[in-house]
Amino acid sequence: MKRILPLVLGVTAIVLAVVAWSALFVVHQTEQAIVFQFGAPIKEVREPGLHVKVPFIQNVVYYDNRVLDFAPPAEEIIASDQKRFVVDAFARFRIVEPLMFYQSVQTEAAARNQMRGYLSSSLRRVIGNRTLSAVLSEERTEIMRQIQTETNEAAKALGVEIIDVRIRRADLPQANAEAIFQRMKSEREREAREFRAQGAELAQRIRSRADRERTVLIAEAERAAQALRGQGDGEAVKIYADAFGRDPAFFSFYRSMQAYREALGAESTTFVLSPDSDFFRYFGDATGGGANAARTPTLPGIEAPAAPR
């Protein structure tokens, strides 16, 4: 008996420990639970902590009480203006009725499949009544709020509350985007050609105006130069006349020296003249004496003034 008693006590302790382990369960702060007895729900446990159930008869199913999210695949939607675009949306939800959730879908994966259909229907219904420009404008916030309201109404039957719905992207389909890009490229090229043509026309107009102003400026400058040259020639003739009037002999000698310098300055100059020509009268006589001493050689383009009587 002394040997059997410890064994019995040990077995009893083990059995009691197993019973206690089976009778106790812990609900974490991020969880909520449903207690079942023979497959029938008995109670919901929403408070975190240590709880008791009937061992071997009752079991516990846990659900997350945090905000969860799901992101269905992007889908193509036709707006009210018959424009197709791809909408990528996601939603956040929370299990608020665990018993109803268990009875309707049981698992989160099944709930996500259900809510994916609700969200898709709401997207097509709400966005189908709006234009593409509205979806891409400030009305987008109101559109998302309306989608969230409709999806939440449908998801209440699952024991789920839709916290938020967001449209991450609303883009054109790839084929449409390429076509629009090519059209935009063609439009920009057309505008560039038009701007270049306008620039060329403006440049030609500026060049024509500049050429006209240049011609006018050159003509005015030449006119002024001619006037100044005329004044200078007049003053030169007056100076020559005054000089000749004061000393005709010296003036005749000076003019002859200028004529010699101009005529004989080049090395390749060749003259065929008579030695007794008046042109060389100062070569044989420093006073320029001779039959034609009164004649004065002149420089080309300048006539000597008449001697005073």
pLDDT, position 20? 72
Enumerate domains of the chain plus CATH numbers.
8-64 (no CATH), 68-176 (3.30.479.30), 234-309 (no CATH)
Provide mean pLDDT across the span 283-295.
55
pLDDT, position 237? 82
Report the C-alpha gap between 104 and 253 in whole angstroms.
137
Question: What is the three-state SS of the chain?
Answer: CCCHHHHHHHHHHHHHHHHHHHHEEEECCCEEEEEEECCEEEEEECCCEEEECCCCCEEEEEEECCCEEECCCCEEEECCCCCEEEEEEEEEEEECCHHHHHHHCCCHHHHHHHHHHHHHHHHHHHHCCCCHHHHCCCCHHHHHHHHHHHHHHHHHHHCEEEEEEEEEEEECCHHHHHHHHHHHHHHHHHHHHHHHHHHHHHHHHHHHHHHHHHHHHHHHHHHHHHHHHHHHHHHHHHHHHHHHHHCHHHHHHHHHHHHHHHHHCCCCCCCCCCCCCHHHHHHHCCCCCCCCCCCCCCCCCCCCCCCCC
pLDDT, position 217? 93
pLDDT, position 5? 66
Tokens for 37?
């007895």
| pLDDT(275) > 70 | no
Amino acid at 35: V
pLDDT, position 220? 93
Q: What are phi and psi of 221, to 5 degrees?
A: -65, -40
Provide mean pLDDT across the span 256-272.
72
| pLDDT(297) > 60 | no
Q: How much of the chain exceeds pLDDT 70, in percent?
A: 81
Report the C-alpha gap between 222 and 216 in whole angstroms.
10
Note the pLDDT tens digit of each residue in 71-114. Answer: 888 888 888 878 888 888 999 999 999 999 999 998 999 999 99
The residue that leads in pLDDT, 213 or 270, is: 213
Please say whether the beta carbons of 126 and 143 come within 8 A: yes
Provide mean pLDDT across the span 203-207.
93
Which pTM value belongs to this model? Answer: 0.52
Q: How much of the chain exceeds pLDDT 90, in percent?
A: 32
CB-based burial label for 223 (10 Å; 0-12, 13-18, 19+): exposed
| pLDDT(181) > 50 | yes
pLDDT, position 62? 92
Mean pLDDT of the residues in the chain: 81
pLDDT, position 285? 66
| pLDDT(222) > 80 | yes
For helices 248-264 and 174-246, what crossing angle results, to 10°?
140
